[in-house]
Each structure stands twice: as structure tokens, then as C-alpha cells.
Structure 1
Amino acid sequence: MFEELTEMHGYLYKLVHARSPEDTPGMKVDNNNHLMLLVFSDKQKITIERKPYHVGPHKVILLPAGLWIEDKSESMGSLALEFVMLEETQAYRYAPVSLSRVIEVEVGPFPSLYQSVLDIRTKWSGERVDQLKAQHMFLELLIMIMENAAEKPHTEHERVVKQTVEYIHRHYHRNISREHLAERAGLSSDYFTRIFKRQLGKSPMSYLSAVRLNHAKQELLLTKDSFRTIAQRIGYADEFYFSRKFRMMTGMSPSMYVKQMKKADKIVSLHHHLTGHLLALGIEPYAAIVNSYYPIALHNTIEIGHFRPDLDKLASANPDVIFTCDIYDEETSAKAKMFEHITQTISIPFYDDWRTQFCKIATATGKDKEAGLWLEKYQAKSLSVRASIKPYVDGKTALIIGLGNGILCLFGQRNVGAVVYDDLGLKPPSGLGSIPLYREIAYEDIFDYDPDIIFLTSFRNDGSQQTKAAIRQTLNQWNRDPRWKSKRAVRNQEVYSLLESQHLYTMYTAYSHDLLLDRLHDLLVSDLSKEWT
């Protein structure tokens, strides 16, 4: 629509008549230089040069000179403005020009299109001063039509490009052509490419190649699959074309890229659990998110944010590689697109189990051997702790309660639950059900369960005095509540606290789980642990 109206830009316009069906039956214009602007009071179908057009109160029809509605009855409920479009041929000399085709313009929710043209017609039939006003109103109407038509395709184009981008990210591994993407958008290939490039600065196929390249980098660093397998997984027919494309876009071969990235020194972690995995591999991050939420000793790490990454600090660190995950809060999501512009970013799936996350990071950093040895050692330790605590916990159920600033939760199979339930073999209490991560609960919900053992741990505990005070208040409230005192775990003094170090033990990461094994061993075999209040 907007593209069609561009042929009307750069001319002068003059209103020469304002008509309705009652003015001139048939209303065909004899002067071959006069154009027509038609509006309609309601929805109907008209025919122009044997072609049907569906019109209505929010549509304008612009007719080239000499054309009119073929069936006289179809012109009822219409108004027409007869005008000329003038082109400057020489200095101060103008000649009329015509349109090359019939133009339909949707003007959206313009409230009084028909009334506006009716007002112009009324003014036109008056005195000379009224005709001058009609001329001014006509020019304003033309401007409104052009501006409205310019806004609508802009919004429509944004929708088309957004849907195409979403489609590419979902189906990058398929055989996708420019023609296929244009067909899905309902546009010609050339026009589709122009609007896509206008918005994103690159063609659709260049964007597709960039998406495939990013996935290829992830696959190269996080898996040990062959180039052939990776090529086919991301949408290329063979590894040779993939390698040429990779070299063309990065300046190096896939194997050289992998070798270079595994030697990276300046490793940045944007999530605490990823920092924990790196520490378990013997790697202290070059830069990371640092706060009291996860109170670990980082002696040489540059702080690039307390709870969310600061883009300026991140860029100033000049990292070789950024480790992040695929789940962000709303504020970080807005920044995430910039990470790739700073350096290579490796995304670890958040919902992978911790061992899988650990191994992926090990593969990306060239620490596969170290990861294998670490996991063997961890497995041996968990079996040893499981055996040592068996006399104290055999056949008992355990509930893991998270406490924060005015909030409570029950932990499931992740975080502390991964060690308590999976590694050490304790059972959840009856009625708990399946909790993949955690379940926020109300104060009263605690009394729905009666486990043999209760572990108290942190939930969204930032280590602030306010949060610590809120946790103490909840503990004091429980101590005064007879329902709490009647719980089997409380009566038997089997309530154990992991609250002293915020999320040091509760983070879903190799480093924390190793510490937690030691801590749980100490808690469950020592009477000193009962002094939790």
C-alpha cells in the first residue's frame, strides 16, 4: 500500500470538483486529466474495468484519469473528489499526470472519512472562500491518507519480520530458501528481502546463516559430535559446505575455532551455578556475577554485576568466552542479545541435570578428563556418606523447606533435593507429590506434612539483614505454634539447618553439592546440629 502511494509523492494537487451520485448520474469523468478519490458510507462491492473491489467506510479508492465505477447502481453511497496531479516540467510550468493503476488504501480507524469528504463537497458548492477552504481540507485529507498508509505497512512489516525471525529460530535446521520465507510472509521475494533488510540490517538468508552459525558454535563446543553430524543438525547437507561457510563467516575452520576456544583464559560466568561448575573443574572465572547470595571465595575474579550483568563492565573485561544459560529474568533478557556482540557466548540449558551441565562446561573448556575424575570421586563420596548416615536415616522421610524474606517453598528434585533424595536416598513425605524444582507455599501449608526429618535452607536469600530478620521471624513464629511443635521431626529433634551460608549449599551445581555432602554428613551424625534455634 505504502509502496503504491509513493508514486503520488512530489506533486502538486488541485481539487476541481466534489461529487456524489446525485450530482451526475453515472459520474464518469470526461476530462482525461482528472483523477478520482472515492469514499463509501458502507461496505459494498464495485466493479472497475471488469475487476471487483470490496470497499467500505475505511477504504479509499484512487482512480486513474478516465476510469469510473462501471455499474451505475454500484456508485450509490459513494462520494468522489475530482482532482488533478501536477508535475513541474519547467520552472513555474506544470503539466497534469495520471496514476498508473487503481489504488486501494485502507485508512484503518479514521473516524469520519465519509463525513470529511462530505464536508469538502459542501464547502465546494459554496462561495469562493468556501471553495478555498475545501481545497485546504482536500490537501489535509490527502496527507492523512498518505501518513496512515505509511504507518500501517510499518506495523505490518514489523509483524512479518518478527514472525520470520521466530520461524527461523524454530526451523533453522530445515531446508529453508528465501522464496519459502517470502511465500510464508505472503510477499514477493524481492520485496520481502527489502523490508527484512531494512529492519534487521541483513538479508533473510544472511540472518539464517548467522543463526545456524551460532548453533554450530554451541554444538562444536558442547558436544563431541562429528562435523558431519553437526552440519546436518543445523541445516547443511554436508560437512564440506558447512566448513566453507564457517570459515567464510569466522575466518577460521571449525577445528581451529574449537582449539582456540578450549584455550580461552578470560572466562566469564553470568550465573552462580555455572560459577560453581567452573570451580569444581579448578577454573576460577576471570569475571562473574558476585554477591552474598552465593558466598564463595573468588580471589581474582572481576565483578561484572551483583545480581545482573552490567554490560559496560562486561565489555570492559574483554572476555574470551561468556558462559550463560537459556533462562533469564525480564531485565537480563533485554541485555542478552548484546552478549554475542561482546564475545562468543555459550548457553548451558537451565533445565539440564547438574551432571550434564557440568560435563558440557568441561567439554567447552577442554576439561573432560578432569570432569570424569571429579564425578568418580563425587560418586564414591556420596556412596560413603550414604552408608555412614544409613543408621540415622534408614526408612525415614525428609522435607526440605526454603525460607526467605516473607516467602516459603518446598524443594523437589533439584538443588538440595538432588543430593538428599537422589544421592543419599531419603524419601519425600507422603502427599508431597512431584516437584521438579520448587513449590512456593503459604505458612499454613507447612502443616500438611509430617516428615521424620526437616531440612531448613535458604530461598531467595540475598544475605541482607532484612532477609535474615524475616527468616528469624518465621522461625520464632513456628516455635510458638503448637502445630509445629507437634511435628514428628520437631519432637524428635531432627530439624537441621543449612541457613548459615545463604545459598552455598543449595545451588544446583557440582561445587555446592560436594560441600553439601560433607555438611549433611556432619549434620546427621552430630548432636551439635540440633541446636538450630
Structure 2
Amino acid sequence: MHHTLHEQVPMHINVSLDNMWFKLQSIELVRDGRIEQQLIESYVLIIVKSGVGCLTMDLDEYPLRQDAIHIALPGQTLGVTLQDEDELELYVIKFEVCWDSVSHPTFPLVGEIPIYPKAQTVLLCDLMYSYCRSEQPVERFRGQSAFLELLYWIIKNIRMLPELDSRTALESTKAYIESHYNESITIEQLARMAKISPKYYVDLFKKTYGKSAMDYVTEVRVNYAKQFMVQSDARLRDIAHQVGYNDEFYFSRKFKKEVGVSPTAYMKNRRRKIVAYSSPILGQLLALKMIPYAAPLHPKWTAYYHKMYRTDIPLHLSAYRFNEDWESNIEALIQAEPDVVISSDELQAVEKEKLRQVAPIFYISAQDKNWREQLQLTGQLLGAGQEADTWLLNYDRKVTHARGRLLQELKDDTILIMSIFKQSYHLAPARGMRDVLFQDLQLQSPAGVDPTVCNQSISLEQLAGFDVDRILLNVCQEPESLNHWQSLQTSSLWQNLKAVRRNCVYMISSDPWREYSAYAIGRMVDDLLKLVYGHRTN
């Protein structure tokens, strides 16, 4: 059976934009395709110019491609990642929506919107980008009309679903895998559903999702098996049958290959319902090789943990804006009936009182103890003191090795770590930054900077006076900070900094650099080595 392309006939959809006014705020061409997870305060339209990638909006993930556009709403979080060596260019368009009337109807274009790919769409983006970068006010004004024309073209070219094209059919087979994982599934069966040949289906699935279809079947089955394993009466044979394997020994081999430990060892570790009530506690548990039953997970505020452990942690607590939804978290924990809760002690009194009703709770002091002491105390509470000692021993070896490598590369260079929040600048805004750079790795800070002080506020003029060789920079991923960072890069004061002239400014993300836990500290060392050795000076 050969793949055939079907002629696509536009089917128009009625989208009511009556009484709405639109104002273009900005348009950015992201050439490397990556966008760090950030909180947005305006409407955001994302259009792919070329390539493929993955968009995360709040907790939902979408494949990025040219046959769909995506619109996010104010208050959502979004970020874009690539798969392996994929390339991606995309336009990020921020705009406002205003209403003529007192009643505000719902904005009709939200989330993923399938469209018929048209050269005109990207052409309008190219023109708008050119207009908005013009030095002539009348040309920048013209960008507004190009934006309205773009909205018109999007609405005129919306695809009605379901479609018969192979890409949409491919997505339907992926959804079929997710809902029929406990049944026998073959490539031939999936290819028939997509109405394409098995060979073309195999190639298209791998190209679209970065893994083979059968590897995805295994991944889905193993993830469901992990969920069943937390039940106290679960038996391995029953779990294997529940996720589509008739042979429990074959299931065990597949599970160990996928997870790294046997199902029996995994179940033993998971039967105790431990709650990591804050992300630093999750970082301490992972260093102890313990995966909790519940923990705060979010694509922005706990990006790494969400990506790596969301399928391993059954109960996802909200991490939105750092524990803003604590009341709903406690309600979820009451229903889950955990065995023990471990938390940092930086909670409101009313929150602590509510937590007492959930399970026995242990607080780890965030201020009185450093991360090493916090790790050892957590280990003692959970009977994993030996694991804590082993982790610290391995970390000290890692630091000794990293210190030697950095000394070879940096020589006598001085280094600063700083953040931009809104329009202010701070040196070493988090404890972990100071501990890793200036205590463990013993890097040199410039004259006039006290490396033992955290979160020191400075001006741009003071920064210029330090004459620092290298800067690690963390920009808060929210609109005011990002806008200030964009304008700062064009200022003469910034451009004349020694580190900027040498092209030695390294961008670092809040995760892991703002988290204070053993696991995050270890990741900081790895991240620094990657930044320095992947960035060569002339």
C-alpha cells in the first residue's frame, strides 16, 4: 500500500470576532526554536516558519509543525523544546485583545488550531517582522495591518477535524495506543488505521515523535504499570496482564530495560507513600534514590522534575507560582492518605495546621541547615542515612574533578553569577549559586564583591566597575524581566562590559540554579561544565 497525498479543500469555520479589537505588541523570530518555560501576561500566537519541535502550554504538550498554529492566553505558561538534532524556526507574536462592550466574550482561538499550510501565512509574518523592526514609525504602524491580515488568513484556513491527511491520522493512532495499551498492538494494525503503508508509518512516527511506535507502546504500558504498582495488593502477574503482557517474565525484562530496576524492586520502593511537599525536598529524595508518591510538578516552576519524573510520581501537586494552590494540594493529599509528609519549614501557620490533618509531617529547616545537613537529616528520617553519605562522597569526588577542569579552562578569570528580576539586578540571588561557585568549586570573584553574601542588589554602573571576566546570568521568565533584558542588551553600558565584549555571558535557568537541594546542586556542577566547555573564547 503506497502513501498518497489527498487534495485538501478548505472548509471554513465561523469564528466570531465581533466587538473585538486587536493590538500587536511585538513579534520575535526565534531562530534556534528554544523558549525557556515562562509565564505570559498577553495573548501569544506561535507560528512555525520551518522545522518541528514540541510546545508546552501549562500542562499540555503539542507537536509544533507548519499545519497548525498555537495561541496561549494571559496567565498561562509556555515553552518550546527540540528533539535531538531537530531544527526549528518560529515566530512568537504577542498581542492584546480589547472589547467594545462591557461583556467580554470568550476569545475563540485558543490552544492548537489546525490550519492548511499556506506560504501566505509565513510571508505575512516575514513582512510584519520587517515592518516592526523598521526605524520609520509609519512602517511600524504598517505592522498592525499585517497582523490583522494574518488573523484573517488564519481564520480563512482553519482545518475542520477530523482530517484524512496522514499527520492527523498519525495522531489518532497515537491516541489509540494510549487508550488501548492493554491490548495486542501491531505496526500493521496502526498503519491500516492511518491508511498508509507500514514502512511509511514507521518512518513518519519516528520522525514526528522522536521514537518508534513500538517503543512508545512500551513506554505507555510501563507508565501505567508504575501507577498500578503503588496499590498495596498489586501482584506482578496481574499488573503484567493489565498493561498488555501475557508473560510476566517478558514484562519484567521490558520494565527493567525501560526503568533501570526490576518491577519487584520498584514496587518495594513505591509501597511507602512519601510526600515531598516542596521541590527542594523532592531534590533531596532523588539524591537518596527515592521517588515520592506525591510532589509538586509543573513545566515551568519544576521543569526538570516534570520532564523526567512525571510518569514516576503518581500524584502531581500543583507547583503553580510556587505553592499558590496549597489548599487544593492538601485536599488531594487527604484523599490519597499518604504515610508521611516531608516539607521545608517555610509555610504559613494555617497551611501547617492543615497539613497536620494529612499524615505525620517532618519539617526540614531551610535556613538553619545547609543542603548537606538537610540531605543527611532527610536520610535519617527515612532510614536512608547510608544513601545520604554515599551521595555526598560521590559529590565531593565530582567537585574535585570539576574544579581541576575549570581551573585549566578559566585560569585567573573572575566570575559573577547574577539575576535580572523586572528592572533590578542581584548578585548570587540563591544560596546554592554561592555554595557551588565560591565554596565547592572555589572560583574567583572580582575585586569588590563579597562571595559569601547572597542576593546583593547592585546597579548596572556598579556591575561595570567590577571588570568581571565572565558572567552567569539568570533572567526571570516573566514579561517585565524579559522585556528589560531585551532593552538592556542594546545599552552601551551593557555592551561595554568586559564579559560581554569577550562573549562570555552564560545564560542559566532558574531550574536548577535557584533550588537548594542535593540533586539540584549536583546538576549545577554539570551545567557549569557544559556551559564553559561548550563556549570557547577567541
Question: Structure 1 length normalisation: TM-score?
Answer: 0.45
Q: Select the structure of larger CA radius of gyration.
A: 1
Of structures 1 and 2, the one scoring higher in RCO (CA 8 A, sep 6+) is 2
Question: Structure 2 length normalisation: TM-score?
Answer: 0.44
Higher helix share: 1
